[in-house]
């Protein structure tokens, strides 16, 4: 477990990993805008939406790696990274439910996962326990989600291809990976609380 204490320096605001997290937050706006325009105006706007989510996914893959390689792991980054993930995922989920209402049950899994993790994070903050860095299974869930959404949007925008079976398969895989991540994060959360209680 990480034992470092919470700390913040003004220089933490402009580290490369944190700038990538800001970029992910910013990309939510054009993604939603172009997705909605693609839905109600011109399907070609889906291409721009897919590019936005693709770039967002790439930055999410590399920010943690860069933080470790550049020795820029910060307390602020441990909040910004999952915050950017959750806001992006929720925005994408809402758009996909508008696009395909039948996906609502799968999207509820996403909301349960992120709401649970949010509550766990708040509990740790209240107890003044340092937030742990994102784990590989959390990143895997995010990457699988990005890939699924990008594939669906890209096929729709470029080839006007829309296969309900393919969409269902992609999101079932995504849901399974998210449940796996949720179970592992829940175990980690309980282990952290137990370890902290033993230190008291």
46: tokens are 């889906």
Look up tokens 């784990």; give the residue.
135
164: tokens are 């309900």
Q: How far apart are the first and last CA of the chain?
A: 16
pLDDT at residue 5 is higher than 60: no
**Do residues 164 and 64 make contact, with C-beta atoms less than 8 angstroms apart?**
no
CA distances to 98, 136, 184 from 117, rounded to whole Å, are 25, 15, 11
Q: What is the pLDDT of residue 3?
A: 43
110: tokens are 């996403």
**Do residues 117 and 183 make contact, with C-beta atoms less than 8 angstroms apart?**
no
89 vs 107: CA distance, rounded Å: 10
**Do residues 48 and 30 make contact, with C-beta atoms less than 8 angstroms apart?**
yes
186 vs 127: CA distance, rounded Å: 17
CATH 3.40.50.920 fits 10-199, yes or no: no
pLDDT at residue 2 is higher than 70: no
To the nearest whole number, what is the mean pLDDT of the chain?
A: 80
Q: Where are the beta strands (DSSP E) in the chain?
A: none
Q: What is the pLDDT of residue 196?
A: 80
Look up tokens 């340092």; give the residue.
130
Query: pLDDT for 93-145, tens place per residue?
Result: 888 888 877 778 777 877 787 788 878 877 887 777 777 767 788 878 878 88
Q: Which pLDDT band, with edges at 50, 70 and 90, does 1 fall under?
A: very low
Task: Tell me the domain boundaries of the chain.
Answer: 10-199
With H, G, I as helix, E, B as strand and everything else as coil, classify residue 200: coil
Q: What is the pLDDT of residue 6?
A: 54
């Amino acid at each position: 477990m990480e034992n470092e204490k919470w700390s913040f320096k003004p220089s933490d605001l402009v580290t490369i990993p944190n700038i990538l997290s800001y970029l992910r937050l910013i990309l939510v706006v054009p993604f939603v805008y172009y997705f909605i325009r693609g839905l109600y105006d011109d399907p070609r706007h889906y291409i721009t939406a897919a590019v936005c989510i693709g770039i967002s996914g790439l930055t999410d893959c590399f920010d943690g790696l860069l933080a470790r390689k550049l020795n820029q792991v910060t307390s602020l980054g441990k909040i910004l990274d999952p915050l950017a993930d959750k806001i992006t995922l929720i925005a994408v989920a809402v758009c996909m439910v508008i696009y395909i209402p039948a996906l609502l049950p799968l999207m509820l899994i996403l909301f349960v996962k992120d709401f649970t993790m949010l509550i766990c994070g708040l509990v740790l903050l209240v107890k003044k326990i340092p937030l742990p860095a994102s784990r590989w299974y959390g990143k895997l869930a995010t990457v699988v989600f990005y890939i699924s959404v990008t594939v669906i949007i890209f096929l729709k925008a470029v080839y006007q291809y829309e296969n309900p079976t393919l969409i269902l398969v992609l999101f079932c895989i995504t849901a399974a990976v998210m449940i796996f991540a949720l179970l592992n994060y829940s175990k980690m959360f309980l282990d952290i609380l137990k370890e902290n209680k033993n230190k008291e």
